[in-house]
Homo-oligomer: A and B are copies of this chain.
Amino acid sequence: MEDKTIFWDFEKNCIKLVEQTLLPTEYRIISCESVERLAKAIKNLEVRGAPALGVAGGFGVALSAFRHDDENMDGFLRLVSDDADYLISTRPTAVNLSWGVKRVLSTIKDAKNPKEARDIALLEAVAIAEEDEKMCRLIGKHGADYLPEKCTVLTHCNAGALACYTWGTALGVIRSAVAAGKEISVISCETRPLNQGSRLTAWELSRDNIPVKTITDSTAAYLMKKGEIDAVIVGADRITHDAVFNKIGTYMHAVCAAHHNIPFYVAAPSSTFDNINSESDIIIEERSRDELAFCGNKQLMPDSVNALNYAFDPTPMELVTAIFTEKGVLKPPLLKGELVPESRDI
């Protein structure tokens, strides 16, 4: 997928992005011509995925700079800074969003006038996007070496181009392997309750003509038993020295992969590494029961019943075969505080 998930329109000076809530039934690129429209897109998950939100935050500050034109630089900077705060508040726990916003905002502090601020902001926002792509391609290159010439790879959730500027992390490894001439088929777990696997991963791979089939999450073990899965590749939300935190269900796949002697790989930028905490320090987000109780217009649970809806689970490092990062490949066991020593500036 050479398309970008979110990018700058240099003619109209606005942000364009793939409206992901319409997928998989409709592929539509929408324009965000105001910070308000971008904020709505972030809130409504029209754009999602940690790296993509970093890019969105950066472009968002550039967009703000293009929309304001106060002669007084202090006034101008105040307006842009207010927009920046507003953008961050749309998803307060999204670390990358806030990081992208702040990174671009910090570059325009000393601009002489709004025109210069716009140029600087846009340059920095584009740099964030391009760094993201470069990082994904490096992760992909490192990981692709680990896949056999012809194989079937199982993945969970969407660690793909749609979660990044382009290319993807786990799906980036698959794309890089295909680009290197390998024959890769993908089994995409639907990933309940929000179905990112069937809605997004299946969509973006089929768009790239990479063979993909969807299964219920609970079918994975049976396919492993039948010898139809050669490797598992997933992304990560956080990596501590002792565990990989990723979408709920990742741990189940890791246990089943180990049972069937199938390699279990994680693809993630080094910015995902948490050098401070251990598995037991991390509190797993619990989300609304409604995600399980309803699907479209269909009610799936009686009103009287509660759900346990954990968003993530931790996979202990002993179940992980290797972690692909843009800096190289790590093989567990990892020692506390020594995850990716050279990554602290990321």
- Residues in A lying within 8 Å of B, measured CB to CB: 23-25, 187-193, 195, 198-199, 202-203, 206, 212-223, 225, 248-249, 251-252, 255-256, 258-259, 292-293, 295-310, 313
Smallest CB–CB gap between A322 and chain B, Å?
21
Apart from A190-B192, A192-B192, A221-B255, what 10 extra A-B contacts exist at CB < 8 Å? A24-B303, A25-B302, A189-B218, A202-B301, A203-B305, A214-B307, A214-B308, A221-B313, A252-B252, A255-B255
Set of chain B residues within 8 Å of A223, measured between Cβ atoms: 308
* Least CB separation from A302: chain B residue: B24
Would you give 29 A-B contacts (Cβ < 8 Å), ordered by A?
Answer: A24-B301, A25-B302, A189-B218, A190-B192, A190-B301, A192-B192, A192-B216, A198-B292, A198-B301, A202-B305, A206-B302, A212-B305, A213-B307, A214-B306, A215-B307, A216-B217, A216-B248, A216-B292, A217-B218, A219-B249, A219-B309, A221-B252, A222-B313, A223-B308, A255-B256, A256-B256, A295-B295, A295-B296, A295-B298
- Given A193-B216, A218-B252, A248-B216, does the pair A203, B302 have CB atoms closer than 8 Å? yes
A292→B304 CA distance, assembly (Å): 26
A216→B305 CA distance, assembly (Å): 14
Smallest CB–CB gap between A317 and chain B, Å?
14
A306→B217 CA distance, assembly (Å): 15
B249–A259 CB distance below 8 A: no
Set of chain B residues within 8 Å of A188, measured between Cβ atoms: 305
* Least CB separation from A24: chain B residue: B302
Smallest CB–CB gap between A156 and chain B, Å?
8
Set of chain B residues within 8 Å of A300, measured between Cβ atoms: 24, 190, 195, 198-199
* Least CB separation from A295: chain B residue: B295
Set of chain B residues within 8 Å of A190, measured between Cβ atoms: 192, 292, 300-301
A129→B198 CA distance, assembly (Å): 42
- Candidates B214, B218, B249, B255; contact of A305 at CB < 8 Å: B214
A187→B259 CA distance, assembly (Å): 24
Smallest CB–CB gap between A243 and chain B, Å?
10
Smallest CB–CB gap between A1 and chain B, Å?
14
Smallest CB–CB gap between A105 and chain B, Å?
38
A304→B205 CA distance, assembly (Å): 10
A47→B258 CA distance, assembly (Å): 40
